[in-house]
Amino acid sequence: MKSKQATSQKPASDNGEPLPADRFINRELAWLEFNERVLDQAADSSLPLLERAKFLAISSSNLDEFMMVRVGSLQMQYQRNSMVRDAAGLTVGEQLLAVAHRCEVFTNRQYKILSDSLEPLLAEHDIHRIDLNDCTDRCRDTAERRFRNDVLAVISPQAIFEERPFPLLQGLGVHLCIRLKADKTSAYDPNASLWDFAVIPLGRTVPRVVLTPSDRGHSYVLLEDLIKHFIHEFFPGREIVECISFRITRNADIELQEDAASDLMIGMEEVLESRRQSRATRLEYSEDASDAMLAFLSEKMQLRGQDLYPISGPLDLSYLFTLHGLEGFDALRNDAWPPQRIPKIDPSENMFSSISRGDILLLHPYESFDPVVRLIEEAAIDPDVLAIKQVLYRTSRNSPIVSALKRAAKNGKYVSVIVELKARFDEARNIEWAREMEQSGVQVIYGIRGLKTHAKVCIIVRREPQGIVRYMHFGTGNYNEVTATIYGDVSLLTCNDELGSDASAFFNAVTGASQPQELRHLDSAPTTLRKRIIDLINAETQRCIEGQRAEIFAKINALVDTEVIDALYRASQAGVEIKLNVRGVCCLRPGVPGLSETIRVISIVDRFLEHARIIYFRHGEDSELFISSADWMPRNLDRRVEIMVPVDDASCREKVMNSLLTYFQDNCNSWEMQADGSYIRSQPGKNAIRAQEQLYERACQATEQIRQKRRTTFETHEPTDHR
């Protein structure tokens, strides 16, 4: 299905006038604005020091992915047609120039925060990055032993020869480039020196952070600095003129051409290999590199000036994640917020009993993801469970859910799993899981041709005295118990028969590659979800025109789709109150007179990654509330299999609605979007409200209330059901 973004017609406002041409913000610049908010956390002196270091690492990892995917995509577009314009009116060339400028400014700010603030403060707290040219003899001796024992025997240099292809270097890996004085002279000028070059890939075998002895605290040297200090050991008898660090980023926006792939798994393995060999999109290098060194590297990587990034510090700031995990520095990290157990789930009974008493809604990571894992693990061994059907988009390295699904198949249950092999950067892991599950007897389906299956749904079919009952989990996040402790998501556990009927029809349509049936309660992409969202927005618009109160509140990760944005603009022109909590990219301009005066857009950046999608429409006297796997982007609405689920249970509605409204009250970690695409951080004033902290405190209070109740209530042991 093609995206509906490209259109020659000018959308009209509610009064029939064309909407302004400059009503959209460029997607790439909007994403960089989001990463700027992440970097703001690294600069925030009110945060614990190691948390600031972690945010700096996150900003670095985010930028890496942006360079791999978004810049890679723009560069390919530029080769095809450089004059194509985006919704904001920028050509591909203009976007590349604007992105390069913003990334240069951003990178400079990253390293200024590191050098001027974080590293001096870390040193004050006895976390030192050592300079081997200026350290104690004991430290240098230890470093030399580590080099000879752990590095010299493992890592090897690779000489560069003009007559041979340049070696294939790993994207995002740190490398050293060495310039050596040649043993020969020029045939044209006997007095002119010639140069040889060599490359040393650091690889992943030797840890990047190398510990060194310290009288107190923690001292370390980075692997590249250790090798540089002893670089002569690799080239005995040669004169080393220069040694610098560099890193390349490769284009990862390489998708499978499914029409040409007879076997999806083999095709995905070919995609992974293609990414390994794809062209470079960025070269980072030590800023003290000579002109000769830079000319050599940029020529070999075939990169232009705007793709070259001189770095005034260690390349690849993800090593700061290692520092964040150091033992003995708890005072420099956030206090632990262990996920809470919710009162509705009794640990002494099985999950089916808990869910059968009523729908259960979990707010992660404030509330534990364990009930979701428990549900699948119990289903794997429950003699009354007949089938398990599940979509796996991303999961953890040692997934208990995958283990439970394999166990269920071995126990004779009908297990059908959609494994999305095209989940970017998780392809290799998903291929591995798919093979393991197939070997265990699981029916594995590799998604749908031309689409990514991104819905989060699990259906468990159980035989009970009253007949067949379907127990379901619908979520906004992945089936990953690790990220469920750091991502803000929503889970709905239910055995609602109407939702079960829709869920089964949805799943069977996906696995059977058949015409999707019309669903009564669920909406799915790419069939009905786009139309449903726009219809709901238009309904609020019409109510407002008729003089009724109309509201739209939404929490999503990205707002890019121009049709949805235009519908929101028309709703605002009619007077609908619109509050949007958009974590990342937002291409809508809020607060523009005559266009979006009633629209407010905020973004929350705090200790947990905001990931939940929650959508509310006032809908007259009968409000509608949904959770969804989809953001409001063309890829989600047109090119992915997604699902939107109504939340109808009264207690669940109240819980999720309270969480949604709490975000709009945040004045500690909330940024408010301006009409020009910039953001202004909210100021707490006298009444500080931090949404994530409030949500966690509520979860703790609910847990404590049930604990106190059980202390004052006598509970008898009931006979065990031995059916």
- Out of 218, 454, 473, 611, pick the active-site residue: 454
Residues 34 and 584 sit within 8 Å (Cβ to Cβ): yes
- Active site annotation includes 454: yes
Phi and psi of 366, rounded to 5°? Answer: -65, -35
Structure tokens at 312: 């005034």
Structure tokens at 518: 């019309």
Half-sphere exposure of 540 (CA within 13 A, CB side): 28
Residue with tokens 């739209």: 552
Phi and psi of 488, rounded to 5°? Answer: -85, 110
Helix %, strand %, coil % of the chain (to 5): 40, 25, 40
Burial class (CB in 10 A: 0-12, 13-18, 19+), 106: middle
Instruction: Quote the DSSP letter at residue 397.
Output: T
ω into 465 cis (within 30 of 0): no
Report the 10 Å Cβ neighbour count for 356: 14
Which helix (H) or strand (E) covers residue 431, if one does? helix 427-439
Long-range CB contact pairs, 102-108, < 8 A, 24+: 102/29, 102/32, 103/32, 103/63, 103/67, 103/309, 104/309, 106/32, 106/35, 106/36, 106/39, 106/63, 107/63, 107/309, 107/311, 108/312
Residues 227 and 147 sit within 8 Å (Cβ to Cβ): yes
Positive or negative: CA dihedral 624, 628, 633, 637: negative
Helix axes 72-80, 92-113, angle to 10 degrees: 160
Which of these, 277, 292, 286, lies nearest to 308 by C-alpha position?
286
Rounded Cα–Cα distance for residues 308 and 313 (Å): 15
Which of these, 41, 118, 117, lies nearest to 319 by C-alpha position?
118
Rounded Cα–Cα distance for residues 212 and 120 (Å): 18
Report the 10 Å Cβ neighbour count for 90: 18
Bridge-based pairing of strands 158-160 and 193-201 is antiparallel
Which of these, 586, 84, 115, lies nearest to 312 by C-alpha position?
115
Q: Which residues pair with 201 in a beta bridge?
A: 175
Terminal Cα-to-Cα distance of the chain (whole angstroms): 49
Q: Which residues are catalytic?
A: 454
